[in-house]
Every structure is written in C-alpha cells, then in structure tokens.
A and B are shown apart, each in its own frame.
Chain A
Amino acid sequence: MSMTRPPEAVTVPLRPPVAAQPPTATRSLVEEFAEGLDAPICLTWELTYACNLSCVHCLSSSGRRDPRELSTEECFAVIDELERLQVFYVNIGGGEPMLRPDFFQILEYAAAHHVGVKFSTNGTFIDAAAARRLAAMDYLDIQISIDGADPDVNDAVRGEGSFAAARAAMDHLRDAGFGPFKISLVVTRHNVGQLDGFKAIADEYGAQLRVTRLRPSGRGADTWHELHPTQAQQRELYHWLMGRPDVLTGDSFFHLSALGDPLPGLNLCGAGRVVCLIDPVGDVYACPFVIHDEFLAGNIRDTGGFTRVWRESELFASLREPDSEGACVSCGSYDACQGGCMASKFFVGLELTDPDPECVLGHAEPLLAAIAADTATGRRADPPRPGADHSRPGVPVPSPVTLRPTRRSRG
C-alpha cells in the first residue's frame, strides 16, 4: 500500500500561508521549529490509562481505565484528522495500549490512513500469536519498556515479573520475524551503571536502544528526588551517549548539551511546537510529561477537533513565542540547552524561567535547596501535583505483573 500522496492531495493550511521565505545559512531547523508548525511532526497518543503494571515512576499515573475514554469511532476520527494534517507518525502508549480491546483495529486503521505507528508497551500481551500478527503489519514500530538490565534492578521499578514479561515479548517478536524493534529505558540513579548491559540486550535482538530522561511527572513526582541521576552520573551518561550515535534518546537529554558538543537531535523542547500529547479522554497537552491543567491546550471533542486545538489554543501560541525573560536566556549555555525541560522545572516547584533542576552548571542548586528547606523565596514550596491520579486503588507501587486486564465499566 502506497503512502505517497500525489502533490494535488497536499493539505492547504487553514489560515493564509505566510509568504515563503528563502532560508539563510543561519536560519536553522531549530529556529523554524521553535515557532511551531501548522501540524505536529509526530505526537504521543495515550490510548488508555488502564495498565496491568504499576511502575513507580509512571508519567501518566496509570492503572485504572477512565470510563470517558475515546470510543473506537472517535479514535478513527482522530486518525482521519492526523492523516489530513500529514502527521507522520504517532507513538501510541498509555497505560498499556494493548489493553484496549480495539488495539489492533486502531493500528490497522492508522496504517490504512497514512499514519505510521510506534507503540510503547510493557510487552505482557505480546505472546506468540500477537507477535505473528504484529509481524504481518506494515509501517509499525514497537518499543518495549524496561528500566533495568536485569530483573532485580528492573522489577524494583516496574514490578515483579515485568522484566521476564518484557524479555518474553522480545523473544516472541524475534521468533515471529518482526524485525528491528526498540527497547526503551528511563535513566535512573540505579540503572545508569547498566548502560552497557542495556546495549548488550538490544544487540542480542538486533534492536535499537533508546535511553530517555526521567521527569518528575505522574507518579515520578513522588520519587524523582531519589531516582534521578546525580550530576556525576549525568556527565557519565553524556559521554556514553556521545560515543554511541546509534543509541536513540528521543532528544530527551538536550539539557546535557551544555556539557560540550551537542547530542544528536534537535536539542529543542518540541512540546506544543512540533509534538504534543493526546490523552485517553481526548485532552491535548503540550507533551506527555506535563499532564496538568497548566499545560492543557484543549480537547479533541471540542468544536474544531484536534486541528483547532493545535493551531489556535492559547497555550500553544504562548509556547511558540520566543523566550524573553529568565535566568536561562542570559546564560552563556542557553544556545546549547535551551533552558532545559518545562516538565522537570514545573513538577519540582521551579518557575519555567528558572534553570532546569538538573542544570549541568548547577544553576538550580540554590533554588532547589530553598524549596527543600521550605524557605520564603517566592518560589512554590509545595510543587504542583500531577493531574488526575489513575493508579489502581489499593494496589502497591510497583506491583507484580498481572495478566488479567483491569475490569472496566461498560456503557
């Protein structure tokens, strides 16, 4: 099935196009992207808050399905919009997206409508049959999440049995001839020493390794201070990544680029500019790490759907304006690190104009110390709490792998 669009079918922007401007050598991709595009390049789409795991740092605080989840028809309508906008691919996640009964239908609909899919999964539900079904699909990437190179380190974060479940999924994909998949981890204080071990696992399967940043988002807010890598570990990570350009990062470590040569990638926060999140109930957030009213742009069920939210929301308009104030803009390293991650600042109680809490130059240290000491600095002593908590009540965090899908109310 061809994914090529004939030139006549190319989408015309809804508003009058800006006169085309020829580039100069210095008007870089980053400068263009920072102003925002008429459509995302790709985006994260969390299909459900249901999950069979209870990972300690879950950015979406997942566990229980929200009864207001988008219906299958609503999901198809989202895909239709993404097709019209020429969004190139979606990262389907959750919660655990394979817990949606219509999971395969949604994947097939996307492929039939010129939207590539990568889905992120804990792998529990990729058995031999599912692996064969997935191997038969096209324009599909799979990303399996682990957070340790062995069961001890991994399961401490993701729950007993979760490492084994992930490895079983990888074995099934390999046996079914799926081809290269991605293995993705979140770097913590406890697994940063296992980077070579992760790479070895990826190499064993011919898979691509993806190493990503822990943000204090969702359940991560509760444990970030204990789990996030130390400054020394961040430096170690930076050098490890610089020596391995084949390891993906999702551009999530651009704050480390202030350490020296920039890491590969745009080194730019894409939230609300080239990417965003659509959540299971149709809420659109700047990115999956800021599921909070402060970063809620709108809802796809509102008039104008996703397109209107992307192009007209106040939140996204403000994100697309150049930074004009704050300590970071006048720092000599700003060009390299772009002031770091909004989510990281927001959920530790810093202002968005403050340095990143993991600023490699240590510029956030005094502010963080003041917050910890609860002194009157004009900063928030009580950091914002994440948006709605979808954790399963009474279930420990983390909890052992369960194969039973969570029950959901029908109708």
Chain B
Amino acid sequence: MATEVMTESATTVNDASPEEHDVPGVTGPEDLVEDELLVEEVSIDGMCGVY
C-alpha cells in the first residue's frame, strides 16, 4: 500500500520541488501524474443508510 502524502508542501503543487520529495516512501507529483484518477463517479443510491 502506497504511503499517503501528508507534507504541507505537497498541498501546494506550484512550489513543490523534486528535492522535497526525495524522502523515502513519500510520493511526489511525478508519481501522481502517471496514474491518478481525479474524478470518480458514485451512485447517489450507493450510500447505505437511506432506504
């Protein structure tokens, strides 16, 4: 399971630099660009607890 990105710098993609993501186990924008799916569709009927 990939590690989650929690660093403050990661939230601001404009000033993220490659060096900030050299920490082992931390994914950076380069990794995200390849296979991130930014829109997910969910059925409004697909929430358990509404009959």
**Touch A–B, Cβ below 8 Å:** yes
Query: Is the Cβ of B48 less than 8 Å from the Cβ of A266?
Result: yes
Question: Which of A22-30, A150-158, A229-237, A402-410 contacts the other chain?
Answer: A22-30
Q: How far, in whole Å, are A26 and B36 apart by their CA atoms in the complex?
A: 9
Given contacts A19-B11, A266-B42, whether A26 and B4 have CB atoms under 8 Å apart is yes
Which B30-51 residues have C-beta < 8 A from chain A? 32, 35-38, 40, 42-51
Residue of B nearest to A286 (CB): B49
Cβ-based interface call for B13 (8 A) = yes
Instruction: From B1, B46, B50, give the contact of A26 (CB < 8 A).
Output: B1
Interface of B (DSSP majority class): loop
Cβ-based interface call for B8 (8 A) = yes
Interface of A (DSSP majority class): loop
Q: How far, in whole Å, are A338 and B5 apart by their CA atoms in the complex?
A: 24
Residues from chain A with Cβ under 8 Å of B27 in the complex: 24
Query: Is the Cβ of B51 less than 8 Å from the Cβ of A93?
Result: yes
Q: How far, in whole Å, are A251 and B45 apart by their CA atoms in the complex?
A: 7
Query: Is the Cβ of B45 less than 8 Å from the Cβ of A25?
Result: no
Cβ-based interface call for A98 (8 A) = no
Q: How far, in whole Å, are A41 and B38 apart by their CA atoms in the complex?
A: 19
Given contacts A24-B27, A29-B40, A29-B42, whether A268 and B8 have CB atoms under 8 Å apart is no
Given contacts A20-B11, A266-B42, whether A26 and B2 have CB atoms under 8 Å apart is yes
Q: How far, in whole Å, are A42 and B48 apart by their CA atoms in the complex?
A: 10
Mark interface residues in A261-293 (1 if CB within 8 Å of B CB, else 0): 000111011110011110000000011110000
Q: How far, in whole Å, are A288 and B6 apart by their CA atoms in the complex?
A: 36
CB distance from B36 to the nearest CB of A (A): 6
Query: Is the Cβ of B49 less than 8 Å from the Cβ of A89?
Result: no
Residues from chain B with Cβ under 8 Å of A41 in the complex: 44, 47
Residues from chain A with Cβ under 8 Å of B37 in the complex: 25
Cβ-based interface call for A184 (8 A) = yes
Query: Is the Cβ of A44 less than 8 Å from the Cβ of B44?
Result: no
What is A's interface to B at a CB cutoff of 8 Å? Answer: 19-27, 29, 41-44, 59, 88-89, 91, 93, 120, 184, 210, 212, 248-252, 254, 264-266, 268-271, 274-277, 286-289, 341
- Since A26-B4, A268-B48 are in contact, a sample of 10 more A-B pairs with Cβ atoms closer than 8 Å, ordered by chain A residue number, is A21-B5, A21-B11, A22-B32, A44-B49, A91-B50, A250-B45, A252-B48, A270-B49, A271-B48, A286-B49
